[in-house]
């Protein structure tokens, strides 16, 4: 069974969190929503209170096939600079997991909007890697930037922004499950295609 750890924190984009989780679960992917904070309860970008399945401190990432980093204002919390020395262990645990996944071609990293920036900061992108991300990251990501809505580069799947959430979701199903399942679920959302 395919398993994805979705990292959520205060101000994670609601759509970039809820839509993929819903569709991935519909196709049989086991999805656990892991709080980057030290408690299960977070407030999403819209102000909606949300309860996660677990917290990062108690998560065994080796059991997952992929880590998904939604964007939104919460994406800034993926960086060490947003944490106090008292809480830095939480984000460093995420960084270690991302590093391990980047080095294992059987594990995937999925990121959207502002989230791909962390892959660059942690130097997890090979020189030839391209990523889709928010347009305002073009100068930060330089040669890694792609204007595409979704980019699959080896074991890294990225998407531009909230408008490309469905495309990212289907690309993940295509890569982690199979093309037929991806096409079937896509046709339920885009019946005219």
In this prediction, residue 83 carries a pLDDT of 73
Q: Measured between alpha carbons, how far is 157 from 168 in angstroms, rounded to an integer?
A: 8
Q: What is the CATH number of the domain that holds 107?
A: 3.40.50.880
- Above 80 in pLDDT, residue 82? no
In this prediction, residue 90 carries a pLDDT of 85
Query: What one-character-per-residue DSSP string does 134-169 give?
Result: -GGGHHHHGGGEE-SSEEEETTEEEESSGGGHHHHH
- Above 70 in pLDDT, residue 188? yes
3 state SS of 109 = strand
In this prediction, residue 157 carries a pLDDT of 98
* pTM metric for this prediction: 0.96
Task: Please enumerate in sequence order all residues whose Cβ is within 8 A of that of 131, keeping only pairs 6 or more positions apart, or say none.
Answer: 111, 116, 119, 120, 125, 141, 144, 145, 146, 151, 153, 156, 158
**Mean pLDDT across the chain:** 94
- Report the domain count for the chain: 1
> Which of 26-35, 36-45, 102-111, 173-182 is predicted with the least confidence, judged by mean pLDDT?
36-45
Q: Which letter does DSSP use for residue 14 in this model?
A: H
Q: Which letter does DSSP use for residue 178 in this model?
A: -
* Band (193; pLDDT cuts 50, 70, 90): low
- Domain containing residue 167: 3-189
| Residue closest to 77 by CA, chosen among 45, 51, 31 | 45
């Amino acid at each position: 069974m395919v398993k994805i750890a979705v990292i959520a924190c205060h101000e994670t984009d609601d759509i970039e969190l809820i839509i993929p989780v819903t569709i991935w679960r519909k196709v049989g992917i086991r999805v656990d929503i892991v709080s980057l904070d030290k408690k299960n309860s977070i407030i999403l970008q819209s102000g909606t209170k949300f309860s996660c399945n677990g917290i990062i401190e108690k998560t065994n990432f080796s059991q997952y096939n992929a880590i998904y980093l939604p964007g939104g204002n919460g994406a800034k919390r993926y960086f060490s600079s947003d944490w106090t020395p008292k809480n830095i262990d939480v984000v460093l645990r995420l960084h270690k997991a991302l590093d391990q996944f980047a080095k294992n071609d059987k594990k995937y990293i999925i990121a959207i909007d502002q989230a791909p920036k962390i892959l660059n900061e942690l130097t997890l992108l090979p020189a030839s890697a391209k990523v889709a991300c928010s347009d305002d990251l073009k100068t930060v990501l330089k040669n890694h930037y792609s204007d595409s809505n979704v980019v699959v580069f080896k074991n890294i799947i990225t998407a531009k922004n909230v408008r490309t959430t469905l495309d990212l979701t289907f690309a993940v199903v295509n890569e982690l499950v199979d093309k037929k399942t991806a096409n079937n679920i896509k046709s339920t959302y885009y019946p005219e295609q």
